[in-house]
Amino acid sequence: MSPDKNKFITFEGVDGAGKSTHLAWFAEMLRQRGHDVVVTREPGGTPLGEQLREILLNQTMSVGTEAMLMFAARLEHIEQIIKPALLACKWVISDRFSDASFAYQGSGRGMDWNKLKQLEQWVHPDLQPDLTLFFDVPVAVARQRLANNISLDRFEQEQADFFERVRAGYHKRVQENPHRYVVIDAAQSLEQVKLQLEKIIVSL
């Protein structure tokens, strides 16, 4: 793998932070600069992963099951999509990755972080994002943005205190490994968020 030519970038943050809104635009900006970009998401990204996503977003289950299904989908995603693309010198931009498991199943639902670290170590011992953009936003702002959605999935339906814990979990991940992250002030307007992203693109 040539570390100069490929990059693995992930977008993280609570539901409603603005990840999906900005990801396509971010990828397009990179393409305009001549990079070969693969856009993908978690859970999902592969046919099996998308089937697991349907289950994960809609069916009630224990937190351990939820965590293992997330990592099962992730293993498939890494083997089928992420690693082949990086090997082909492409840039991979993923809407969520393992940080989300620590934030949601760990901090949100109370699963022991050490168990999640074991799953992470098992599923991707030698792979971490080169860069993670953490879309940080007050929970009340994120929830207000989701208020107009007609249908909310099993995660989006959670209460504010759940998202407060998820947000705190993301902050803990950032503190554990600060060099991997750029924190985006996602409470700002769409235009202001784009300006923050443009600065990152220039720095890449």
Residue 68 or 182 with smaller CB distance to ligand ADP: 182
- Single out the residue of 6, 8, 9, 15 in contact with ligand ADP (rule: CB under 6 A): 15
DSSP letter for 180, please.
G
> Would you tell me how many other CB atoms lie within 10 Å of the CB of residue 176?
11
Contact partner at residue 193 from Mg ion, ligand ADP, none, CB < 5 to 8 Å by partner kind: ligand ADP
Task: Report H helices in 33-133.
Answer: 47-58, 63-77, 83-87, 98-101, 113-123
Pairing assessment for the beta strands 37-41 and 181-185 based on DSSP bridges = unpaired
65 contacts which partner out of ligand ADP, Mg ion, none, CB within 5 to 8 A by kind?
none
Which one of residues 87, 168, 190, 201 is an interface residue with ligand ADP (CB under 6 A)?
A: 190
Q: How many residues bind ligand ADP (CB under 6 A)?
A: 14
Q: Does 45 bind ligand ADP (CB under 6 A)?
A: no
Q: What are the structure tokens assigned to 34, written together?
A: 């001549």
Q: Which of 81, 123, 166, 193 lies at the binding interface for ligand ADP (CB under 6 A)?
A: 193
- How far does CA 60 lie from the centroid of its chain? 21
Cα gap 83→74, rounded to integer Å: 12
Binding of ligand ADP by 154 (CB under 6 A): no
Is 157 a binding residue for Mg ion by CB under 5 A? The answer is no
- Write the single-letter amino acid at 197: L
Q: Is 21 in the site for ligand ADP (CB under 6 A)?
A: yes
Indicate which of ligand ADP, Mg ion, none lies near residue 189 (CB less than 5 to 8 Å, by partner kind): ligand ADP
Residue 64 Cβ, how far from ligand ADP at the closest point, in Å? 25
Residue 134 near residue 174, CB atoms below 8 Å: yes
The residue ranges of DSSP E strands in 83-186, in sequence order, are: 91-95, 131-136, 181-185
List 9, 17, 52, 67, residue binding ligand ADP (CB under 6 A): 17
| 20 counts as binding Mg ion under rule CB under 5 A | yes
